[in-house]
């Protein structure tokens, strides 16, 4: 990124005595609330911040009284992903944000192997210039995500202010606000107890970079609360419908946690592959429905949060998509 481009939007601040010792990224986020802390961190790493005239690319640097801090943010640029006319199921939209019901099979943002056809491509087409520069080039407007084969409710920001406010809520995990994220999952077996909490550390699996795993000494804190809402069984098999409430939002968290307690998600070929033989124990009509899913049986059913501008508490619900509703119907006669 050229230095001349960085100078197009300059912000200066001098560290006050009561601010000394604050991390550089936290100091800048507090002084310039137009930018989210994640955005500030990215700009620091890109060399867009200087301390007393010298570039400082260390987000955790502790600022000192009297230091002159300059943030030279680039002007908003067109996101690299191209707009694509992809239908969106919009649950809510205003000038600040958009809430959509994402179908299974849609990738949230471009990545190797999925360069287009993503939610980001659809949002750029739908929202146009309002997404310019919001939250970074590759993920404009995105403050959280769902796996490709997980369906359900998502929110995206349309302004820097909204992005900042939403990102703060997700980073706080709802501990001090109304953030609510509830998922419906269908898992092999019946969890015991029927209501519980899974609390572990989760990080990248050292043996498979495409997977996450529970790691006792490393990784990041992950907490999932669950409640069994339906039990279905016969002599040879059992399946549960489980409601999962996220307290944290780690990659693949519910999938990892359910597999960790011995109840992997139905249809999850990554974390439930060792249980593939179970499909042969269920009745033919259920077996056919499970095989035809071509996805893990996980749906983001509820998303609640405070509007980042108006402060209004918003809550959105999405019914089970047709393929999971069909599974629930096939299981119903076996309820116990």
Please check whether residue 191 is in contact with residue 220, taking contact to mean a CB–CB distance below 8 angstroms.
no
Provide the strand spans (E) within the chain.
9-14, 49-51, 54-55, 68-73, 90-93, 97-102, 151-157, 180-188, 195-204, 212-214, 220-233, 238-246, 298-306, 313-317
Q: What is the secondary structure of 201-235 as a DSSP string?
A: EEEE-TT-TT-EEE-SSSSEEEEEEEEEEEEEE-S
Beta-bridge mates of residue 90: 100
Please check whether residue 113 is in contact with residue 135, taking contact to mean a CB–CB distance below 8 angstroms.
no
Paired tokens of 145: 């995500």
If phi > 0 it is left, if psi is from -120 to 50 it is alpha, else beta; for residue 311 that is: left
Cα angle 288-289-293, degrees, rounded to a multiple of 5: 115
Enzyme catalytic residues = 147
Paired tokens of 225: 């609360």
């Amino acid at each position: 990124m050229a230095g001349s481009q960085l100078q197009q939007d300059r912000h200066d601040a001098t560290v006050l005595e009561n601010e000394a010792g604050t991390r550089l990224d936290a100091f800048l986020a507090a002084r310039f609330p137009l930018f989210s802390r994640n955005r500030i961190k990215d700009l620091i790493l890109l060399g867009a911040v200087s301390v007393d005239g010298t570039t400082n690319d260390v987000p955790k640097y502790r600022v000192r009284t009297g230091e002159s801090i300059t943030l030279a943010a680039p002007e908003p640029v067109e996101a690299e992903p191209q707009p694509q006319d992809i239908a969106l199921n919009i649950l809510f939209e205003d000038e600040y944000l958009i809430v959509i019901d994402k179908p299974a099979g849609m990738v949230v943002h471009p990545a190797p192997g999925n360069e287009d056809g993503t939610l980001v491509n659809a949002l750029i087409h739908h929202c146009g210039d309002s997404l310019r520069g919001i939250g970074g080039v590759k993920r404009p407007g995105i403050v959280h995500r769902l796996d490709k084969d997980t369906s359900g409710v998502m929110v995206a920001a349309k302004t820097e202010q909204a992005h900042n406010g939403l990102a703060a809520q997700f980073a706080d995990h709802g501990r001090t606000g109304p953030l609510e994220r509830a998922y419906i999952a269908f898992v092999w077996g019946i969890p015991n107890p029927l209501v519980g909490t899974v609390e572990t550390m989760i990080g990248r699996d050292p043996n498979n970079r495409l997977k996450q795993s529970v790691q006792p000494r490393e990784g990041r804190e992950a907490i999932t609360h669950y409640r069994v809402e339906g039990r279905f069984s016969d002599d040879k098999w059992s399946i549960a419908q489980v409601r999962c409430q996220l307290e944290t939002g780690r990659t693949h968290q519910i999938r990892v946690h359910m597999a960790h307690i011995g109840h992997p998600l139905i249809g999850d070929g990554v974390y439930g592959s060792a249980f593939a033989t179970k499909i042969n124990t269920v009745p033919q009509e259920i077996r056919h429905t499970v095989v035809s899913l071509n996805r893990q049986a996980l749906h983001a059913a509820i998303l609640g949060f405070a509007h980042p501008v108006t402060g209004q508490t918003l809550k959105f619900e999405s019914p089970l998509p047709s393929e999971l509703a069909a599974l629930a119907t096939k299981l119903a006669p076996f309820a116990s």
